[in-house]
Amino acid sequence: MKEHATERRELLIIGNTHSNPSTKAFLNKFIRIILATSIPTKIYVVSGDAPLVSKLYWLKTKDSAKGIAYYLSWIDSLAKTLKIVLTSRIRGAIVLVTPMFLHVMLLKIFSVRVAVFVAQRPSRILDFILSKLSIFLADFVIVEASNVLKDWGVKTYHKVLLGALYVDTHKFKRYKRFEERELALGYLGLLDYRKGIDRLLKVFHHLLRIEPRAKLFIAGFGPFARIIKEMANHNKNIVYVGSLKDDELLDFYNKIRAFILLSRSEGLPNVVLESMACGTPVIATLVGGIPDIVNDKFNGLIIYPNDDLMRVAFRIKEVLIDPQLWENLSKNCQKRARAFTFDRAVNRYKLILAKLLE
């Protein structure tokens, strides 16, 4: 009986079928937490991103994020999932991509307990429908912050498990004071509609009208990248820095006076925690897990969907030019970030895995 129970602590993690710096960073942080729990005896990963650790059985999917090929990569991922289910003794699975309804259904057919990780809402309508089906069918729903499900309009509170990520405050820390930083906003992440890049550009246009010295540093990739490159070529106040490597992130957060994230949907963004750990106030919309970490006028600014953009620009200007206000926000940012420790995340997932693999 003891040997049988040990064998049944095998865990499957299903990640994105395509690969990009953001999904890879998240996957590896997530796997590091799971490994630290010491609960699964074996971990399988099906993903387009490669885990950076070797203690795993990893099946890479065909990498594609465009058009029909995007969904064909799902079929490849589904086939690899079936292979693992048939050749192993998987007891539980964590699906990190909510639209993978077919994966969830397949796992349920083979009596595998499933937890679906829920963060931001997908921008594609089909993906959103599939996501709601996944949430309905799953045994558990994992969220990083209690407010995340409000964006989804679903009521699954009886099966919600509260997870946690972490920020490495030894790696991400403040080393530049207010006067050493540029009079600038910064954004880092996916450059698409869901992330509110169109809103960001409009707000910055209004900000330049009242503070012509202001700059906007944008780092990332995605559909809006081409437009931003062109704007940067014609506007010296906008600087596009492309994709950043891990060792460049600290300098980026310490270069700017405020980080801005005007997303239409979010989970609990890593970039917000990293920015705050560097003492950089966060200006963000009231969505997803944002209100769990950003408090208006305490460690940043909260922007509401119907706020007048010129008024928003005046509020941003105040943060960028007022040393005393900025210093207060900066100290509170660091204090909040220190609460998101690695040990806290591991303890949360010990509870989750105990339920999933019981």
For the residues 133-161, what does the mean pLDDT come to?
A: 85
pLDDT at residue number 2: 43
Mean pLDDT for the chain?
Answer: 90
Neighbours of 247 (CB within 10 A): 8
Q: Does the structure show a pLDDT above 80 at 54?
A: no
Q: What is the pLDDT of residues 202-213, one digit of tens each?
A: 999 999 999 999
Q: Which CATH number does the domain 178-337 belong to among 3.30.390.50, 3.20.20.10, 3.40.50.2000, 3.30.300.130?
A: 3.40.50.2000
Please check whether residue 46 is in contact with residue 80, taking contact to mean a CB–CB distance below 8 angstroms. Answer: yes
Please check whether residue 119 is in contact with residue 268, taking contact to mean a CB–CB distance below 8 angstroms. Answer: yes
**Residue 340, φ and ψ in degrees, nearest 5:** -95, 75
Q: What is the pLDDT of residues 303-326, one digit of tens each?
A: 998 899 999 999 999 999 999 999
For the residues 35-40, what does the mean pLDDT come to?
A: 94
For residue 196, which of 111, 348, 304, 89 has the smallest C-alpha distance?
304
Rounded to whole angstroms, the Cα distance separating 163 from 166 reads: 10
Element (H, E) at 136: helix 125-137
Q: How confident is the model at residue 61 (pLDDT cuts 50, 70, 90)?
A: confident
Ranges for all domains in the chain classified under CATH 3.40.50.2000 = 2-166+341-356, 178-337
**Structure-block tokens of residue 278:** 């560097």
Rounded to whole angstroms, the Cα distance separating 75 from 114 reads: 19
Rounded to whole angstroms, the Cα distance separating 140 from 297 reads: 35
Q: How confident is the model at residue 1 (pLDDT cuts 50, 70, 90)?
A: very low
**Residue 269, φ and ψ in degrees, nearest 5:** -65, 130
Least confident of 6-20, 179-193, 231-245: 6-20
Task: Give the predicted TM-score (pTM) of the model.
Answer: 0.89
CA 67 to chain centre: 23
For the residues 15-23, what does the mean pLDDT come to?
A: 84
Share of the chain above pLDDT 70, in %: 94
Rounded to whole angstroms, the Cα distance separating 16 from 12 reads: 13
Q: Does the structure show a pLDDT above 60 at 176?
A: yes
Element (H, E) at 51: none
- CATH placement of domain 2-166+341-356: 3.40.50.2000
Q: Does the structure show a pLDDT above 80 at 55?
A: no
| Residues paired with 239 in a beta bridge | 217
For the residues 173-193, what does the mean pLDDT come to?
A: 96
For residue 18, which of 83, 100, 88, 86 has the smallest C-alpha distance?
100
For residue 276, which of 340, 230, 319 has the smallest C-alpha distance?
340
Rounded to whole angstroms, the Cα distance separating 97 from 81 reads: 14
**Structure-block tokens of residue 259:** 């980080």
Collapsed DSSP state (helix, strand, coil) of residue 186: strand
